[in-house]
Amino acid sequence: MGKQEILDKLRDTIVTQNISGCKAAAQEALDAGISPVEAIDGGLSVGMKIVGDKFEAAEIYLPQIMMSAKAMNAAMEVLTPELEKQKIGEGGGGITTAITFVQEGDIHDIGHRLVSTMLGANGFKIVDLGVDVPIDSIMDEIKKLKGQKVMLAGSSLMTTSMLGQKDTIEALKEEGLRDSVKVMFGGAPVTQKWIDEIGADATAGNAAEAVRVALELMK
Ligand code: HCB
């Protein structure tokens, strides 16, 4: 089977909620020499985008999305050990701590976990605050790391929780912490225009790009 066919198979197993098929296709991708990043970006994420669009069009409902997410997680069990070996660069000149989190009100964690894994694989020390994280917890964590090189890598998958990114920047300013951290925000609805509008430092469209952007920010 050719590379594109395997990527299409990964996509289709997500769309059809085929959990065991998705895991098997992930293994097939690795066996065919496809990198885990390519399998995710060219296969699994494409499937997730289709699932999201179908949900928006009321062609499928929440239980189906949950099954697609399970299929993605099953594939990630196979891909994560390989992902952890994907070196793009070295932790931004000296050890940088990346505080990773999903904004309050949002439990979408697939992209967040991917970004955390890839940053960790590339020399960043990860403090993973998980999902549905209140801004106060983020501020507390930054204060604990005073004097160290710190960046924030926050995710929002919903337009509602994305507003929390703006509030996070405001809170950083109020606490006098804005100049002590670099801030990268991501997630499907996040655009460069939004980043400029709220005064964050950067965004990235996928986990590999997130590593490149983070390394550049921490130079
Ligand atoms: Co969810 N959901 N969902 N969902 N969901 C979305 C996000 C919608 C866009 C679907 C739609 O309507 N088209 C929509 C949000 C609409 C909006 O706000 N405009 C939506 C909704 C509405 C909801 C609920 C409210 C549904 C309901 O209950 N009625 C509910 C919300 C619950 C809550 O959070 N409070 C809900 C629930 C769910 C689950 C639980 C069924 C499941 C999540 C499972 C989980 O994460 N454990 C789910 C899923 C899977 C999705 C879609 C289909 C896929 C998301 C995903 O995992 N993508 C999503 C549709 C979509 O996004 N197009 C849909 C794959 C990952 C790899 O991509 O974008 O997360 P990613 O991350 C990338 C990239 O953005 C970047 O790198 C990552 C890796 O490549 N990146 C960063 C991410 N974070 C970064 C941080 C950085 O610093 C830098 C880069």
Cβ(158) – ligand 1 distance below 6 Å: yes
pLDDT band of 135, cuts 50, 70, 90:
very high
Q: Is the pLDDT score of 90 beyond 90?
A: no
Q: What are phi and psi of 107, to 5 degrees?
A: -110, 5
Q: Which two tokens stand for residue 100?
A: 């990773």
Q: What is the pLDDT of residue 94?
A: 65
Contacts of residue 24, Cβ cutoff 8 Å, sequence gap at least 6? none
* Range 144-161 average pLDDT: 96
Residue type, 181: V
Closest CA to 208 of 129, 107, 117, 75: 117
pLDDT band of 89, cuts 50, 70, 90:
low
Residue 147 CA, ligand 1 centroid: distance in Å: 34
Residue 20 CA, ligand 1 centroid: distance in Å: 22
CB 114 within 8 A of CB 40: yes
pLDDT tens for 98-133 read: 999 999 999 999 999 999 999 998 889 999 999 999
The CATH homologous superfamily of the domain defined by 3-83: Methionine synthase domain (1.10.1240.10)
pLDDT band of 219, cuts 50, 70, 90:
confident
pLDDT tens for 23-68 read: 999 999 999 999 999 999 999 999 999 999 999 999 999 999 999 9
pLDDT band of 91, cuts 50, 70, 90:
low
- Taking residue 1's Cβ as centre, other Cβ atoms within 10 Å add up to 11
- Taking residue 100's Cβ as centre, other Cβ atoms within 10 Å add up to 26
Nearest CA to ligand 1 atom 16: 158
Question: Does CATH number 2.20.25.10 belong to domain 97-217?
Answer: no
Domain(s) labelled CATH 1.10.1240.10 in the chain stretch across 3-83
Residue 183 CA, ligand 1 centroid: distance in Å: 20
pTM: 0.95
Nearest CA to ligand 1 atom 28: 62
Residue 95 CA, ligand 1 centroid: distance in Å: 30
DSSP assignment letter at 103: B
* Range 61-83 average pLDDT: 95
The mean pLDDT value of the chain amounts to 94
Domain(s) labelled CATH 3.40.50.280 in the chain stretch across 97-217
Q: What are phi and psi of 153, to 5 degrees?
A: -130, 95
Higher pLDDT, 84 or 62: 62
CA pair distance 91, 12, nearest whole angstrom: 35
Residue type, 32: A
Task: Pinpoint the alpha helices (H) of 60-205.
Answer: 62-83, 110-121, 135-144, 159-174, 192-198
CB 105 within 8 A of CB 160: yes
CA pair distance 86, 78, nearest whole angstrom: 14
